[in-house]
Amino acid sequence: MILPNVRAGFGRAEAAYLVAVTTRGDDALRKSFEERLSTEGLDSVLDDPRTLNAVLTVGGVAAVPPRLVFYLLVRHALLENGIDDRVVADYLAALLLEFGKGGRARKVDEAGGESFDYLADIVAALTTADDRRAFLLRTHLGNFALWSSGLFPDYITARVRRRGAPGIEYYEELGASGYRLAADSSHAEAYGLHWLFRACAQNFSRLRISLNLIADRYLFPTTGDRIDRMLRQVADRFRDNAPAN
């Protein structure tokens, strides 16, 4: 079970690292950051745009401890898209770290078992699942849909063009549904995840767009068709700015 526990693992070592790379020998700036750490806590440094910029200029994404860089990338992408919820950022960072392990994204849990290549297969498995299994499948439906449409939108677009496969809207619909139904389970309440899953369901599109930002800027900046990517980005901006009915 993926839990929002990345941020809780940060301590003095991470704080010292962030202050060092952000201030780079500037004594006045170092003193300012240290005072902020003392009075406002580590979150104030993690949320500072200068922190992400400094971390990325040290040597790029690969040069930073994965837990730290993924939290920073997710947190700032979400802030850019109007989502100021640290627990949601924490959960998405944990999701990226967990699903980044070989083959894990297609499995319901880390214990292994059956793999699912398509969202439709997860939906089909729900028809014979008991209550506990159904909760895990619905959670995985949300997670897998968000992972796929968030980090690999270019791949989805290419499949739409080549094979007439379902587009991003399909992933958003099923992913939001998975989170929504998982939130209603007593198992979600037992884990303290019911409100988090509801937030993921309500904001699925913006979460997906935030992960697209990370993929486009930092993880896969040179892959995919440039025109398709531009059209996707324009469509997302238009939808975000469209007046509500």
Record the pTM: 0.91
Share above pLDDT 70 across residues of the chain, in percent, rounded to a whole number: 94
Report pLDDT digits (tens) over 173-212: 999 999 999 999 999 999 999 999 999 999 999 999 999 9
Rounded-to-integer distance, Cα 178 and Cα 61, Å: 31
* Residue 114, SS3 per DSSP: strand
65 contacts: CB under 8 Å, gap ≥ 6: 14
Q: By the 8 A CB rule, do 119 and 179 touch?
A: no
Give the lowest-confidence range in 13-22, 77-86, 90-99, 132-141.
13-22
- Whole-Å CA distances, 231 to 176, 226, 239: 23, 9, 12
Give the lowest-confidence range in 49-63, 117-131, 179-193.
49-63
pLDDT score, position 245:
43
